[in-house]
Chain A
Amino acid sequence: MKEKVLSIINQIRAAKGLEAIPTLNLSDSLRDDLGFTSFDLAELTVRIEDEFDIDIFEDGLVNTVGEICAKLSK
């Protein structure tokens, strides 16, 4: 699961011209550390939902990589 999330994050970073991150750091802030805007977060949500059939934004805001992983491993 984490490999797939990493791949999705890097796919979105690549489209923004940002270099790929080598590993997932659970404490990373999606906005501050990964540089995601609200549009990027929307695309992240859509891509994760397409892969895992879970809407990570359904019950409130998600701020960190760790929060995504927690929602996906429920």
Chain B
Amino acid sequence: MNYLVTGCSRGVGLEICKVLLEQGHCVYGVARSHSDSFSQLEKEYPDCLFFKNVDLSDSDNVRSILFKDFVSNKVILHGFVNNAAIAYDDIVTNLQLSKLQEMYAVNVFTPMLVTKYAIRNMLLHHTKGCIIHISSISVHTGYKGLAMYASSKGALEAFSKNTAREWGALGIRSNVVVPGFMETTMSSTLTQEQKARIYKRTSLKQATDIHSVAEMVAFLLSDKALSITGQNINVDSGTI
């Protein structure tokens, strides 16, 4: 199977690539920058892993950049994993429109456009494909400073639910994986004390395991999840 994964060079995206490659799939990875860990994967899977350097804030050109040169109609796309995101961490009274717009371009507008062209590829090939959006537990619990970021992920959850309704008749599924706080670069600005407070709000009293999130994504992409669509699946150490 061929899967498009955004934000592939580090964190959850990198782990998703690893799991999919180990399962024998081909991955079309997209990210702003390369990483040593991703280069290592490229050496291990030279025939199944492809990389494209893309600035996902450029929503206007996403079709020509991604779907003309990279995942063209010659590639039969079986799934799209929308993982790339940027965080905008501030309290609401400090909200700046330009930062909000940049975050929405990367987290919402471009993923919606990529979904459009992914479904178009699926229509062309009559593929019962699958779309996965990576959301955030902040949508459901709320954290100080994450109102803007969480709102972008909430938009994705609504988009996924309605995409599932719209395209289910053709066998195309759309689901959301909702991770809890993970030890990634995105949460690296938090202090140990802040992290400890967050993990105390989970049943397992620890960070969400990145590999567990990646395995859930791979499961939802697979035929094992054939009857699962329009769902938000929490992988969050039992966040309370």
Identify the A interface with B (CB < 8 A). Answer: 39, 42-43, 45-47, 49-50
Across the interface, do B120 and A39 meet the contact criterion of CB distance under 8 Å? no
Task: Check B73–A43 contact: CB distance below 8 A.
Answer: no
**A46–B170 contact, CB under 8 A?**
no
- CA A49 to CA B72, docked complex, whole Å: 12
Main secondary structure of the interface of B (DSSP, over half): helix
Contacts of B158 in A (CB 8 A): none
Most B CB contacts (10 A, CB to CB) among A43, A45, A46, A47 go to A46
Q: Are A39 and B73 in contact (CB under 8 A)?
A: no
6 A-B contacts, Cβ less than 8 Å apart?
A39-B169, A43-B123, A45-B120, A46-B123, A49-B120, A50-B124
Q: Which of B110-163 contact A (CB under 8 A)?
A: 120, 123-124
Per-residue contact bits, chain B 21-55, to A (CB 8 Å; 1 contact, 0 not): 00000000000000000000000000000000000
B124 close to A42 (CB less than 8 A)? no
Q: What 1/0 mask marks residues of chain B from 148 to 186 whose CB sits below 8 Å from any chain A CB? A: 000000000000000000000110000000000000000
Complex partner residue of A47 from B124, B169, B170, CB under 8 angstroms: B124
